[in-house]
Structures are given as structure tokens and as C-alpha cells.
């Protein structure tokens, strides 16, 4: 299997996030991608290719155009405002009782307008990394569309929390959603997105919620207890034409392979029934027992079994990297899925 990877991810570095009332170094850090790349090499998974540059038209098909314009100008606006803090972060949101029908000029306000949390910090190299991550997904999608059985988009930053017009949870552009839409625009009648990251992929769900041409399946921690809290319940099945095309599998803290694999089995049966032309896997490995911010208990030996089950679908697959914060083992676990797929 070929991997697409961009060194530009490394510019998105030295970020910060709020944990228990304290501003701490971000868990979503450059070494994540470097450990995965090193494991792709040592396991001889296949060639590692740079992304081809794409214009932003593919991203604008799932994201609002003004949101993409915002992302590409945050850092320059932040600097023009004279701010000197280490990262641009929102601190005010147009929630219930406030007006979201007007977008203030101030960059502080725009950061809140286009986000649902303070979990998507901007630093100098963030936009270039975000853009390259999207290029990585589109380039790997192109490999699948030209006949590769599967490809690995080693995306960083991740994407599945980003919605049509909001960032959050370390995510800016929804790489998996952009790729799914790209497949639709390049010959696929139906696409399934299988999201196995520990956190519910609220952005992907929001983007495709009313559509019948993109099925979305999410295996994740119960939002009653875990981030992103405000979406991801089992009764969210889609709306309008998309009714019945969204499937959530919320699971409690402590979930291990025995229970998790039953959800995977059910999701795979639903993918089979949908008969998509291609599957996009949002590949998070923060389900790992030693993940520092998560509470599932998958073991390293479980990840190849995930790949093996996905292989059994008998469909072309694009793997898109999402979360996973146990940096020492992130390569073993992510590449474990891919080698399990290869058999
Ligand atoms: N800072 C992905 O795995 N956690 N995003 C907030 C307090 C947010 C995870 C905890 C987790 C976001 C792609
Ligand atoms: Zn996650």
C-alpha cells in the first residue's frame, strides 16, 4: 500500500490547549506523524509519496467558502491585530442568545464564529499544514481512483471534528469528507465513511447528515461522558434524504476489543448493505489502552484485526489518519491496521 505524506505538517507545532483549566502543550504534535512515517518505512508498507498540490475547490465543496477563506488568513489577521500570544485561540462563541447572523471584523470574534471549541489553535505554520493535509488526502484518493486497492493518507492535522463551517478538536479541514466528496465527483455513486477514531466524528456527520450518497458510520466513546459531548448519540440516523444513512455506535469507558469488534462487525454489515463504490476510513488509534486522553482498551495486537475485517468488505479503501496520542505506539497501531489489511 502506498502512503502519501507531506513534511509541511511540521509547521503546525508548539500549540497549546486547555486541560483542566490549564494551558498545556498540545497533544496533537508533529512527532505523531513522524512516528507513523518511520513505522511505514520499517514495516516496508510501500512507497511514500509527496502530495500533489490541489487548489481549494475540492475543500470548498464540503466547507463554506468563507470558512476556507478564514482559515487561510487567520495567522495574517492575528498578526495584523498586533497579538503576540504563542497561538491564536478563540475565547467567545455566538451561542444561544447571541447573534450568529453577523460576523464581526475582529479576528478574536471570527475565531469563535468559526469554531465549536478552543481546541484548534493557530500558529505560524498552521495553514500550510492544514492545506498540505488536505492535499495528502486528495492525492491518496487519486491513487485509489486509478486502481490501487487501498492507499494511506498520512494526514496531519486530523480532520473529522471539522464541519462545513467550523473547526475544533485539533481539526480544520475535514480531510476524509473532502476525499469522500472527491470520490463522488470522480465516478463513485455512493461512498461510505467508517470513522473508528475514539472521538465521535461530529464534523463528518454534520457535513453529510442530510445526504443519501455518503453513508457515515461512527464507532466512538459515548458523548454523554466524552468529547465532543454534543453529538454522537445512537438516535442520530440522518435527516431528509439522508434518513437512515448515519449510524452511531457510542460505547462506554473501558470498552475493549470484545465489545468494540461487535460494533465494527455491525458497521461493516451496514456498509455491505449500502454497496458503496469506495470506503473512506477515518483512522484514529486513540482507542489504544495507553492513549493519554482516551478511555478505551484496545491493544496493539487488535489493530491488524481491524484491517483484516475492513479488507473482507472487498472494496477499495482510502485510509485517512485522524487521532492517536500515545506517540510511542502510534506507528505500531496505525500501521498495524494497514498491514492487517494487506494480509
Ligand atoms: N483539552 C481527535 O482525536 N480533547 N481530536 C479535549 C481538553 C479534545 C480529539 C480535552 C480531543 C480532540 C482528532
Ligand atoms: Zn480522536
Cβ of 161 below 6 Å from ligand 1: yes
Which stretches within 186-326 are classed as H helix? 202-208, 257-274, 303-311
Helix axes of 126-145 and 175-185: crossing angle, nearest 10 degrees: 40
- Tell me if the pTM is above 0.95: yes
Question: What is the percent of the chain with per-residue pLDDT over 70, rounded to a whole number?
Answer: 100
Tell me, in angstroms, the distance from the centre of ligand 1 to residue 312's CA. Answer: 31
User: Which ligand neighbours the alpha carbon of 160 most closely?
Assistant: 1
99: its cell numbers? 447573534
d(CA 10, CA 154): 13
Question: In whole numbers, what is the pLDDT of the chain averaged over residues?
Answer: 98
Fold that domain 2-342 belongs to in CATH = 3.40.800
Output the pLDDT for position 85: 85
For the stretch 119-158, pLDDT in tens is 999 999 999 999 999 999 999 999 999 999 999 999 999 9
User: Which ligand neighbours the alpha carbon of 286 most closely?
Assistant: 2
Output the pLDDT for position 23: 93
* Residues 6 or more apart in contact with residue 319 via CB below 8 angstroms: 140, 150, 151, 152, 153, 281, 283, 337, 338, 341
69: its cell numbers? 477563506
d(CA 205, CA 286): 19
Mutate to test the pocket of ligand 1, among 119, 219, 291 (most ligand atoms within 8 A of CB): 119
Active centre residues (catalytic): 161
| Spacing of C-alpha 230 from chain mean position | 17
For the stretch 59-96, pLDDT in tens is 999 999 999 999 999 999 999 999 988 899 999 999 99
Output the pLDDT for position 326: 98
Mean pLDDT (whole number) for 187-212: 99
Confidence of residue 18 (pLDDT cuts 50, 70, 90): very high
* Ligand 1 atom 10: residue of nearest CA: 19
Q: Which atom of ligand 1 is nearest to the CA of 18?
A: 1
Q: Choose among 281, 300, 77: nearest CA to 194.
A: 281
Q: Which atom of ligand 1 is nearest to the CA of 170?
A: 5
Q: Which atom of ligand 1 is nearest to the CA of 161?
A: 13
31: its cell numbers? 512527532
Residues 249 and 288: beta-carbon distance below 8 Å: no
Query: Sign of dihedral through CA atoms 234, 240, 243, 245?
Result: negative
Residues 247 and 204: beta-carbon distance below 8 Å: no
134: its cell numbers? 488536505
Confidence of residue 40 (pLDDT cuts 50, 70, 90): very high
For the stretch 283-311, pLDDT in tens is 999 999 999 999 999 999 999 999 999 99
219: its cell numbers? 464507532
Mean pLDDT (whole number) for 1-12: 98
ipTM of the assembly?
A: 0.97
For the stretch 309-332, pLDDT in tens is 999 999 999 999 999 999 999 999
pLDDT of 116 over the 90 cut: yes
Confidence of residue 244 (pLDDT cuts 50, 70, 90): very high
Output the pLDDT for position 11: 98
Amino acid at each position: 500500500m502506498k502512503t502519501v505524506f507531506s513534511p509541511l505538517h511540521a509547521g503546525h507545532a508548539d500549540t497549546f490547549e486547555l486541560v483542566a483549566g490549564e494551558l498545556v502543550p498540545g497533544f496533537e504534535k508533529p512527532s505523531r506523524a513522524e512516528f507513523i512515517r518511520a513505522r511505514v518505512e520499517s514495516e516496508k508498507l510501500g512507497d511514500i509519496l509527496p502530495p500533489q498540490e490541489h487548489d481549494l475547490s475540492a475543500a470548498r465543496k464540503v466547507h463554506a467558502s468563507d470558512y476556507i477563506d478564514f482559515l487561510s488568513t487567520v495567522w495574517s489577521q492575528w498578526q495584523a491585530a498586533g497579538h503576540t500570544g504563542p497561538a491564536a485561540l478563540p475565547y467567545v462563541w455566538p451561542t444561544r442568545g447571541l447573534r450568529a447572523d453577523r460576523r464581526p471584523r475582529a479576528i478574536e470574534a471570527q475565531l469563535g464564529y468559526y469554531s465549536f471549541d478552543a481546541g484548534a489553535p493557530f500558529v505560524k505554520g498552521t495553514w500550510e499544514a492544514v492545506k498540505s493535509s488536505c492535499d495528502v488526502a486528495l492525492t491518496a484518493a487519486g491513487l485509489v481512483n486509478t486502481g490501487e486497492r487501498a492507499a494511506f493518507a498520512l494526514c496531519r492535522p486530523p480532520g473529522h471534528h471539522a464541519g462545513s463551517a467550523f473547526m475544533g478538536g485539533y481539526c480544520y479541514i475535514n480531510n476524509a469528507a473532502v476525499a469522500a466528496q472527491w470520490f463522488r465527483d470522480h465516478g463513485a455513486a455512493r461512498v461510505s465513511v467508517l470513522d473508528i477514531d475514539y472521538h465521535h466524528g461530529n464534523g463528518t456527520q454534520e457535513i453529510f447528515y442530510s445526504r443519501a450518497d455518503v453513508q457515515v458510520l461512527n464507532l466512538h466513546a459515548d458523548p454523554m461522558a466524552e468529547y465532543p459531548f454534543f453529538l454522537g448519540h445512537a438516535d442520530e440516523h440522518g435527516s431528509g434524504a439522508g434518513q437512515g444513512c448515519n449510524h452511531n455506535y457510542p460505547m462506554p469507558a473501558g470498552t475493549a476489543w470484545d465489545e468494540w469488534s461487535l460494533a465494527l462487525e455491525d458497521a461493516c454489515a451496514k456498509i455491505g448493505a449500502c454497496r458503496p463504490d469506495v470506503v473512506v476510513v477515518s483512522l484514529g488509534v486513540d482507542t489504544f489502552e495507553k492513549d493519554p486522553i482516551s478511555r478505551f482498551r484496545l491493544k496493539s495486537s487488535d489493530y491488524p484485526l481491524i484491517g483484516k475485517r475492513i479488507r473482507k468488505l472487498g472494496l477499495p479503501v482510502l485510509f485517512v489518519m485522524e487521532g492517536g496520542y500515545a506517540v510511542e505506539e502510534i506507528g505500531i497501531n496505525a500501521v498495524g491496521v494497514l498491514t492487517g489489511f494487506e494480509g
